[in-house]
Chain A
């Protein structure tokens, strides 16, 4: 996997899915590209208009708690977000990240050290976060999980498997 480099959007603890992607849009907005314009609407209204491809979200504990809605990940991938670093991820949210090939990295020390707005770099192969405060390490995903990310997400992964079965 690649290296991700971008500007940091830093948020606090316990950011839930209702503020990442409000529930009222879950059955009215179905175009993934359109989801980006509602990303973090109830958390940070400045985000959707200013986020750049490759930007990285850095957050406290339990990012993405609440609903299982996958739009709360898709609205970010569609915004161009390259990765999320958090102190911890809500379980389903973490799974949804993997399934949409969005690296979700858990590293509390890095979160404390990284400043809002700075440019940081994540090397997925080396398992390194490089920021102004120094270099932080994270363990790689298990092989079964990495296979999904490497395939480009669960959709692509399943398509490969179905093709193998048909062959």
Chain B
């Protein structure tokens, strides 16, 4: 029987000929990703009676959530992780400053076509951009993987999204992802595997494509997959940490749901407080005053996103009464943005540029809002309290839209600047 991507890869990883949605399988991940939560995970691992980790090569740890440490408590957390890494000989460790775990995993060639990535972070589906099966799990589950090298997974139903045609200039993968989430709701793909196809996807850069699986976490998806094409294989040349064998779904596989989008009809959109599926056209919010504009995060902190923002900010200034904070997704992005002159453009415009990591996205540090502040952000989550205080409002949009809001001091269409 023809199989979807999720069915095919989970059957392969479980050593079975085929599997059905709903079936429980036991699998060993190729990469087990964690971040600052590796310290509490280590605590759970010890509580489990764990002594030696199952496979030091399987584990990737990227310190990104509070990097560099904003408090002694956070610093202590990092110290415990560094000690763990030394003791257990963890191979793939990236200390503070390297970047956001999901971006680093891609850059370091640790998320590969046909591989299984499990991560103790809800945006782990991001790695599906490389043609991997990537799903988020909890801390205890990660500790159990460290101990036993395997975990149970339920084979998900699959949703197929085909995006025909091409996005208009100034319309981004973020607008596409938010449009889909707005249409389907925040549980529109609950427990599901979301596969992406179509000319619009094929024409996208890897940086743009990454936005799609990243955002699918906000639709409840277990994982999201983009078939690995030549663009992916070229990127991995000399970068992949291991040899790999891509997995592609079978023609004629059975999907729980199939959707078609016309890319040409997608327009710039905003996800308004306090839900990611509260999506309306950008024009609906024109004129909303913005105290803080935030450019960064695993959804939109890559070079292309910085380039988009720089194109808006070049020769302009951030509006008085508005702050612009830029947090590159990785040190590599930071360096490339320096070389390209984007960092200079940001600083000249009056922005603050912070060190790579998750930054203010989940309220830890480096630009958290005040009570009553309105934020426009390129992040993937705008829940009440997300950035630290429940009494702020977070709007989500593309890098163009965030940069334009920083210049105008209010939400505005970039073409109206």
Contact = CB atoms under 8 A, between A and B. Distances in A.
Contact of A144 (B44, B124, B152): B152
A162 B71 CA distance: 36
B73 A27 contact: yes
Contacts of A19: 383-385, 390
B121 A42 contact: no
Interface in B239-273: none
Interface in A26-71: 26-28, 30, 42, 61-62, 65-70
B82 to A, nearest CB: 16
Contact of A100 (B50, B71, B140, B362): B140
A88 interface: yes
A3 interface: no
Given A42-B390, A62-B220, A91 B191 contact: yes
A151 B181 CA distance: 38
B220 A95 contact: no
A75 to B, nearest CB: 13
A116 interface: no
Output the residue of B50, B121, B140, B190 with the most chain A CB within 10 A.
B140
A14 B384 CA distance: 12
B140 A154 contact: yes
B144 A158 contact: yes
Interface in B37-77: 37, 40, 43-44, 47-50, 65-66, 71, 73-74, 77
A14 B275 contact: yes
B364 A24 contact: yes
A123 interface: no
A96 to B, nearest CB: 4
Interface stretch (B131-139, B207-215, B348-356): B131-139
Interface residues of A, number: 41
B167 to A, nearest CB: 27
Contacts of B126: none
B179 interface: no
B138 A23 contact: no
Nearest to B45: A158
A18 to B, nearest CB: 4
B414 interface: no
A162 B138 contact: no
Contacts of A162: 48-50, 147-148
B187 A65 contact: yes
Contacts of B71: 28
A79 interface: no
Contacts of A96: 138, 140
A136 B47 CA distance: 37
A90 B190 contact: yes
A18 B140 contact: no
A61 B187 contact: yes
Contacts of A28: 71, 73
Interface string B61-98: 00001100001011001000000000000000000000
Contacts of B364: 23-24, 27
Output the residue of B40, B48, B74 with the most chain A CB within 10 A.
B48
Contact of A62 (B50, B186, B383, B385): B186
Nearest to B389: A24
Contact of A99 (B121, B138, B363): B138
B48 A159 contact: yes
Given A14-B187, A91-B191, A68 B136 contact: yes
A48 to B, nearest CB: 15
A83 to B, nearest CB: 18
Given A16-B383, A42-B384, A67-B122, A155 B48 contact: yes
A159 B44 CA distance: 10
B121 A23 contact: no
A108 interface: no
Interface in B218-237: 220-222
Interface in A121-149: 142, 144-145
A48 B314 CA distance: 50
A82 interface: no
B386 interface: yes
B40 A30 contact: yes
B386 A18 contact: yes
Contacts of A163: 49
12 contacts: A14-B275, A18-B383, A26-B37, A26-B65, A27-B74, A30-B40, A95-B137, A145-B24, A153-B140, A154-B143, A155-B140, A158-B148
Given A30-B40, A144-B152, A161-B148, 14 more contacts: A18-B384, A26-B65, A30-B43, A42-B385, A62-B187, A65-B220, A68-B124, A68-B137, A70-B139, A91-B190, A92-B137, A145-B152, A155-B140, A157-B144
Interface of B: 24, 26, 36-37, 40, 43-44, 47-50, 65-66, 71, 73-74, 77, 120-122, 124, 136-141, 143-144, 147-148, 152, 186-187, 190-191, 220-222, 275, 362-364, 381, 383-386, 388, 390
Q: Which 10 A-B pairs have the closest CB atoms?
A: A62-B187, A96-B138, A18-B383, A68-B122, A158-B48, A154-B140, A70-B138, A23-B362, A158-B144, A99-B140
